[in-house]
Amino acid sequence: MALALALARLMTIRRGSLPSVASGNHSSGSLFSRWHEALIAPSHPPHPGESAFINLVSGHVPGSDADLLVIGRGVCRMGSYGTVSSHNAVQQVATQLGTNMAKAGQVLDAAVEYICPDARFG
């Protein structure tokens, strides 16, 4: 069951308020660093699709529920542009979670299925 979340519900976050999921190079030009500027910190409860995503991936990849929510929302944000390749998106997820590309691809697929079915990757 896929649920869509209107981007209008997204709130502006304070810079630096998102947790870091894994160590790595977070240069200002990386996709993940832009997530920090564009995503909502998990300050409000996840909607049902986000909860389903967290339940599906939790325990299969490293990270707390809050970290996974940030990653899922980041996937959706990247997919909303339609200009990010799926390979680059998976690579960013793998780097941030400290996991392999196969697991990161499953995380991306789950985020699209449960959180943002309208996301598109080049």
Domain regions of the chain by residue span: 47-122
Between 26 and 85, the more confident residue is 85
The lowest-confidence range among 17-21, 32-36, 77-81, 118-122 is 17-21
Dihedral of the CA atoms 101, 106, 112, 113 (nearest 10)? 170
Q: Helix axis angle, 65-81 relative to 86-97, nearest 10°?
A: 160
Joined tokens for residue 76: 């959706």
* Residue 107 C-alpha from the chain's centroid: 8
Assess contact for 91 and 32: CB atoms under 8 A.
no
- Has residue 26 got a pLDDT over 90? no
Q: What gap in Å lies between CA 61 and CA 78, rounded to an integer?
A: 20
Between 9 and 39, the more confident residue is 39
In this prediction, residues 19-31 reach a mean pLDDT of 42
Joined tokens for residue 86: 């799926």
Question: Which tens digit of pLDDT belongs to each residue from 72-108?
Answer: 999 999 999 889 999 999 999 999 999 999 999 999 9
Question: Which tens digit of pLDDT belongs to each residue from 55-74?
Answer: 999 999 999 999 999 999 99
Joined tokens for residue 120: 């598109």
Joined tokens for residue 58: 């939790």
Beta bridge partners of 58: 61
Question: Which tens digit of pLDDT belongs to each residue from 1-12?
Answer: 222 222 222 222
